[in-house]
Structure 1
């Protein structure tokens, strides 16, 4: 009788352990760990709203034919994006003339949230950059930056201006 009770208690403890392990796996997979320094601007719903099929395309602005992005919303002039390589990008914006830029990278496969902008002097990524520039290449404003991402795959670049989601670029990183 004591053996049956011990076995029963042990079996219940084992089943409870499996259940709580399954629940915590689901909770971890559902949540996107947003870094504290951006959590006041970026919402989980911004990341959940990414349309992975709406990838950035090449387009002509009338003055440039090598722009990549979402036509007449946001475009970049840049070399082919590669992981672990610092590249210079010129960001172009339509419909906005000034503001503070914040770029949040989200990797689809790893669910990693990362800063995209890169400072070559400090050798660190950062989230925000002040001062959109004047009209250029048919866009209402622009800003240059260095970018660096440490893993390949499909990325969404959530672009915020003055803490408001402006647009999302979806691109493949080789």
Structure 2
């Protein structure tokens, strides 16, 4: 009986570890990269926006770009920001659906976004409630 309990415990631990690894592949470290004549911030071939400076409390226009299958690129899009120092979390942007291709991306979405305080922020994106990618930004005072 003890062997069965240990075997079940080990299988559960391995399953949990594998599930955690799957999530890590969605939250890829973001980078700056070029698409045509635009500098993007995000995850190449996944999700990015045309880079523009972030200034505390000031709204700025950002054009989101998405790469993926039609099945992946449907449903509501949401961006949640977490201030890395304080842990404060805010909803940065929400849209019911995304638009068509632009600049070599499979889909796009214009947005106005701002963050309430300076520092390093983690922008977590989701598409139809599923994690889509994480982008790090620096907000100036």
Shorter-chain TM-score above 0.5 = yes
Equivalent residue number for residue 106 of structure 2: 140
Equivalent residue number for residue 95 of structure 2: 129
Greater share of strand: 2
Q: CA deviation at 1:64?
A: 3.3
Return the alpha-carbon distance in structure 2 between the equivalents of residues 133 and 116 of structure 1: 19
Structure number with higher relative contact order (C-alpha < 8 Å, ≥ 6 residues apart): 2
Equivalent residue number for residue 19 of structure 1: none
Equivalent residue number for residue 73 of structure 2: 97
| 3-state SS in 1 of match to 2:65 | strand
Report Cα offsets for 1:76-129 as digits up to 9, x if no partner.
Answer: 114211111110111111114332101110111010010112xxxxxxxxxx21
1:56 equivalenced with 2:56 (yes/no): no
CA contact (8 A) 2:73 2:127 kept: no
Report Cα offsets for 1:37-90 as digits up to 9, x if no partner.
Answer: xxxxxxxxx9xx88xxx75322122x3331121111111114211111110111
Return the alpha-carbon distance in structure 1 between the equivalents of residues 123 and 79 of structure 2: 6
Return the alpha-carbon distance in structure 2 between the equivalents of residues 65 and 87 of structure 1: 16
The total of aligned residue pairs comes to 113
Moved >4 Å (runs of 4+): none
TM-score where L is the length of structure 2: 0.72
Equivalent residue number for residue 39 of structure 2: 66
TM-score where L is the length of structure 1: 0.59
Structure 2's unaligned 5+ residue stretches are 1-19
Query: Which sits farther off after the overlay, 158-167 or 87-96?
Result: 87-96
